């Protein structure tokens, strides 16, 4: 029987214990977790406490109840290494999820001062915008809003299917290799439109990443703002 600290709310401890088993992949994606009766025996608590803990994990999208079959793991946390240039698709794949993208908007947009400044472009330079919902095994994980200098890709970027082709793969086909990316991270309350795409309430706090990337020639080639669900992500940094 696993020990509980009775100085803390039991259902919160139990929720964290179950979540830890998911993160440690003791309960893998698609696995059926023990029944409420079995967990009550395992942890020495009553079934209502188990039900409360499981309900919270269902609400947060980690577990799903299937009538007559049990409760299953449907989401795990992503571990994002902030030290390496790893695309989100690779991060999702490393967690055993199937990465996919849904393009919400793509196309040439008129120049606007703030974004042109971020990309080191002249005031009149055109931009290509790509707004994508990033998913893991069909579950929304992040909303990415990307701008690139249109002049670098003017011959064919509008013809590309970015639900199939990653932006970095496309850039490499054009001889542009991202060598450096300056990242920043803040916590923001998401607005109504963006919340709708991620399936969360408006004003819900999310991690807001920004990426400003340079290629092998030192040119600014990408600016991305990524709204990432905080309850689906862990971060890792090695300090030396």
Task: Please tell me the distance from the alpha carbon of residue 159 to that of residue 68, in angstroms, as a whole number.
Answer: 47
Contact 185, 208 (CB under 8 A): yes
**40 pLDDT higher than 60:** yes
pLDDT value of position 22: 83
pLDDT at 24 over 90: no
User: pLDDT confidence of 200, banded at 50, 70, 90?
Assistant: confident
What local confidence, expressed as pLDDT, does residue 91 receive? 62
Q: What is the mean pLDDT of residues 3-32?
A: 79
1, 54, 127, 142, 152 from 102: Cα distances, Å: 45, 30, 20, 11, 24
pLDDT of residue 102: 93
Amino acid 37: pLDDT: 92
What mean pLDDT is reported for the chain? 83
Share of the chain above pLDDT 70, in %: 82
Q: How far apart are CA 12 and CA 49, in angstroms?
A: 9
pLDDT computed for residue 63 by the predictor: 84
How far apart, in Å, are the Cα atoms of 187 and each of 90, 207, 234?
23, 5, 14
Q: pLDDT tens digits, residue range 46-58?
A: 999 999 999 888 8
pLDDT bin (cut points 50, 70, 90) of residue 235 is very low
Q: Is the pLDDT of residue 238 over 50?
A: no
* 31 pLDDT more than 90: no
pLDDT at 201 over 80: yes
pLDDT tier for residue 13 given thresholds of 50, 70 and 90:
confident
Whether the predicted pLDDT of 232 surpasses 80: no
Residues in the chain: 240
More confident residue, 130 or 19: 130
Average pLDDT over every residue of 3-12: 68
User: What per-residue confidence (pLDDT) applies to 231?
Assistant: 53
Residue 187 has pLDDT above 80, yes or no: yes
Provide mean pLDDT across the span 174-195: 90
What are the tokens at 78?
Answer: 């992503």
Q: What is the pLDDT of residues 70-90, one digit of tens each?
A: 998 876 655 555 445 455 666
């Amino acid at each position: 029987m696993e020990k509980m600290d009775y100085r803390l709310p039991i259902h919160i401890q139990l929720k964290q214990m179950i979540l830890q088993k998911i993160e440690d992949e003791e309960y893998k994606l698609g696995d059926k977790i023990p029944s409420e009766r079995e967990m009550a025996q395992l942890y020495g608590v009553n079934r209502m406490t188990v039900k409360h803990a499981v309900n919270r994990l269902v609400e947060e999208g980690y577990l799903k109840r299937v009538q007559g079959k049990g409760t299953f793991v449907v989401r795990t946390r992503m571990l994002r290494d902030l030290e390496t240039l790893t695309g989100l698709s690779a991060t999702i794949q490393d967690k055993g999820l199937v990465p996919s993208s849904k393009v919400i908007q793509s196309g040439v947009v008129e120049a606007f001062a703030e974004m042109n400044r971020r990309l080191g472009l002249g005031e009149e330079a055109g931009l290509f915008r790509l707004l994508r919902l990033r998913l893991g095994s069909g579950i929304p994980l992040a909303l990415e809003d990307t701008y690139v200098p249109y002049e670098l890709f003017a011959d064919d970027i509008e013809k590309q299917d970015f639900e199939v082709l990653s932006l970095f793969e496309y850039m490499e086909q054009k001889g542009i290799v991202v060598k450096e990316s300056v990242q920043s991270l803040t916590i923001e309350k998401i607005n109504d439109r963006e919340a709708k795409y991620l399936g969360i309430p408006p004003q819900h706090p999310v991690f807001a990443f920004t990426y400003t990337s340079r290629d092998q020639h030192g040119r600014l080639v990408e600016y991305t703002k990524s709204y990432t669900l905080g309850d689906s992500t862990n971060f890792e940094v090695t300090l030396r």
